[in-house]
């Protein structure tokens, strides 16, 4: 890598700093250079952790009304500069400008809810006298900050997934060090700018740009860092879990989410919602619909309508308001998706539409008759590809939906309440959406997976629970 001074600085313990070694940030659609950011060193990360020790004390001592005010002010700053934020997301990532604008709105919601939830961090009284011999005791438990949190985030929601860690961490009185994805660091730096402008005391927040393979271990293994909040792929999540040692872990990992469509469903609605769920952000969405199990009696009709709608998608310039889908995050990723689809076709899958790559763009692709031994049948594709299967009935749909190592969210389309309840009871996932796509989410709901999709829950209130410790207080009345 050539030595050059980064033009965008990183936010290290309240200071905007530069480094000689830099990382280029490129627009995936045409590979043009957008900016450069510092490539932080291990020493930078160690320095950051040292500073965060003081930051954690400062954060814990901030009264709740001050935490609330600073988070609200950061949200106000983002709201005033919405266009810049959306443009940055759309340029450095693979979202279209419409998708990026939606992410900015969600980020505002995440921050504003974080501020509100700060006032609801509470404990409860404990009836100590339930235990013979403890009659003369009264007390309660309260929630206290955990200390320093290390946050590692992915490229696909480059600001809102960072806000989902920073908002709750500050609301709960913690210091937080963010290492954003190397390909999309600019949006996370803009979030730091908002908190800096809002007057967050220095050392509470750092956004440190650098390669996970170089600086990740220092953050993950350092004993002063009391929690790692990770969002990303299974492989990195497992490696981090192995290395982290005795600290809290929150793991928001991948999936290949299923949706079941039964014959009594509103077919047009199911088609419209699942097409969007499959191709949102070019399929680079942890909740994206990857497998659709359709009752045989409506399979042909559903398939035809699904393919028709997919073919109407407009693919191209991310900055255009009429574009439905942009490129993948890099050409390398598009090649990976292409190889996985080709493997499925070589093994006998039928290509209904798509299957074509143009640089970093990969056309929305629909496959059917996919054999179980194909990579795409079991693994997360994280690209614009969806698999359609026929099933006899709900029981078979549930069995197939569960025959998988992931379990983030799922969907079922039916107007039969009994069938919906059967799916709720039996589908193995962190959430099940009735008459909606697996990718439905609001920022305030508990969010996280079972099996290989993760550990713990985000969704502000729930992240705050993970980012605090319980402390018991007992008064002996003698």
Active site residues: 252, 286
Closer residue to ligand NAP in complex, CB, 99/380: 380
| Pair of tokens at residue 236 | 């990195």
Distance of CA 260 to the CA centre of its chain: 23
Number of residues that bind ligand NAP (CB under 6 A): 29
DSSP one-letter string for 209-221 = -S-HHHHHHHHHH
443 contacts ligand NAP (rule: CB under 6 A): no
Q: Are 439 and 280 in contact (CB under 8 A)?
A: yes
Taking CB positions, which residue lies at the least distance from ligand NAP? Answer: 216
d(CA 47, CA 208): 11
| Binding segment (CB under 6 A) for ligand NAP, from list 41-49, 178-186, 309-317, 435-443 | 178-186
| Non-local CB neighbours of 105 within 8 Å, separated by 6+ positions | none
Which of these, 81, 87, 111, lies nearest to 101 by C-alpha position? 87
CB of 216 to ligand NAP, least distance (A): 2
Q: 351 pairs with which residues across the strands?
A: 367
374 contacts ligand NAP (rule: CB under 6 A): no
Closer residue to ligand NAP in complex, CB, 74/234: 234
| Binding segment (CB under 6 A) for ligand NAP, from list 53-61, 85-93, 193-201, 212-220 | 212-220
231 contacts ligand NAP (rule: CB under 6 A): yes
CB of 25 to ligand NAP, least distance (A): 12
| Binding segment (CB under 6 A) for ligand NAP, from list 208-216, 312-320, 362-370, 415-423 | 208-216
182 contacts ligand NAP (rule: CB under 6 A): yes
Closer residue to ligand NAP in complex, CB, 229/303: 229
179 contacts ligand NAP (rule: CB under 6 A): yes
Q: Out of 55, 454, 456, 459, point to the residue binding ligand NAP (CB under 6 A).
A: 454
181 contacts ligand NAP (rule: CB under 6 A): yes
| Pair of tokens at residue 437 | 């796509």
DSSP one-letter string for 459-473 = STHHHHHHTEEEEEE
d(CA 320, CA 231): 29
Q: Out of 220, 271, 385, 420, point to the residue binding ligand NAP (CB under 6 A).
A: 220
| Beta-carbon count within 10 A of 337 CB | 22
Q: For residue 409, count CB atoms less than 10 angstroms from its CB and return exposed for 0-12, middle for 13-18, buried for 19 or more.
A: buried
Closer residue to ligand NAP in complex, CB, 153/438: 153
d(CA 48, CA 363): 42
Q: Out of 28, 145, 254, 390, point to the residue binding ligand NAP (CB under 6 A).
A: 254
Q: Are 407 and 387 in contact (CB under 8 A)?
A: no
| Non-local CB neighbours of 221 within 8 Å, separated by 6+ positions | 243, 244, 245
252 contacts ligand NAP (rule: CB under 6 A): yes
Q: Out of 153, 160, 250, 438, point to the residue binding ligand NAP (CB under 6 A).
A: 153
Closer residue to ligand NAP in complex, CB, 232/390: 232
Q: Are 171 and 67 in contact (CB under 8 A)?
A: yes
406 contacts ligand NAP (rule: CB under 6 A): no
Kindly list the residues in this chain that would bind ligand NAP in the complex (CB under 6 A).
152-157, 161, 179-182, 211-212, 216, 220, 231-233, 236, 239-240, 252-254, 286, 380, 382, 408, 454
């Amino acid at each position: 890598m050539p030595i050059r001074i980064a033009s965008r600085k990183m936010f290290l313990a309240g200071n905007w700093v530069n480094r000689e070694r830099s990382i280029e940030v490129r627009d995936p659609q045409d590979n043009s250079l957008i900016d450069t950011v510092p490539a932080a060193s291990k020493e930078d990360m160690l320095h950051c952790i040292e500073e965060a020790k003081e930051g954690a004390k400062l954060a814990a001592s901030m009264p709740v009304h001050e935490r609330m005010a600073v988070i609200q002010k950061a949200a106000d700053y983002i709201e005033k500069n919405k266009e810049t934020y959306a443009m940055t997301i759309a340029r450095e990532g693979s979202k279209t400008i419409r998708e990026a604008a939606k992410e900015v709105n969600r980020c505002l919601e995440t921050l504003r809810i974080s501020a509100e939830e700060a006032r609801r961090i509470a404990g409860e009284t404990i009836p100590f006298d339930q235990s013979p011999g403890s009659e003369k005791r009264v007390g309660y438990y309260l929630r206290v900050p955990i200390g320093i949190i290390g946050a590692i985030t992915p490229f696909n929601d480059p600001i809102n997934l960072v806000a989902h860690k920073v908002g709750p961490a500050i609301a709960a009185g913690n210091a937080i060090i963010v290492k954003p994805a190397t390909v999309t660091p600019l949006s996370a730096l803009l979030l730091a700018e908002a908190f800096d402008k809002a007057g967050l005391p220095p050392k509470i927040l750092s956004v440190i740009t650098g390669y996970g393979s170089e600086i990740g271990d220092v953050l993950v293994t350092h004993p002063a860092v009391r929690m790692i909040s990770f969002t990303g792929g299974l492989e990195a999540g497992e490696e981090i879990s192995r290395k982290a040692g005795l600290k809290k872990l929150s793991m928001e990992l991948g999936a290949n989410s299923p949706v079941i469509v039964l014959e009594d469903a509103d077919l047009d609605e199911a088609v419209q919602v699942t097409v969007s769920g499959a191709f949102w952000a070019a399929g680079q969405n942890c909740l994206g619909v990857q497998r659709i199990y359709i009752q045989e009696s409506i399979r042909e009709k559903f398939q035809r309508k699904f393919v028709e709608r997919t073919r109407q998608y407009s693919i191209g310039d991310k900055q255009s308001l009429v574009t439905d889908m942009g490129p993948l995050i890099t050409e390398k990723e598009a090649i990976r998706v292409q190889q996985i689809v080709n493997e499925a076709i070589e093994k006998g899958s039928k290509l209904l539409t798509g299957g074509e790559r143009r640089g970093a763009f990969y056309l929305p692709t629909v496959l059917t008759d996919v054999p179980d031994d194909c990579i795409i049948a079991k693994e997360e594709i994280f690209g614009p590809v969806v698999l359609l299967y026929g099933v006899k009935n709900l029981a078979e749909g549930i069995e197939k939906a569960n025959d998988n190592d992931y379990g983030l969210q799922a969907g079922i389309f039916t107007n039969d309440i009994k069938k919906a309840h059967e799916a709720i009871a039996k589908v193995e996932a962190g959430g099940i959406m009735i008459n909606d796509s697996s990718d439905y989410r609001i920022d305030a709901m508990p969010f996280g997976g079972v099996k290989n999709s993760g550990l713990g829950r985000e969704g502000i209130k729930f992240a705050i629970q993970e980012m605090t410790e319980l402390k018991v207080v007992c008064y002996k009345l003698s």
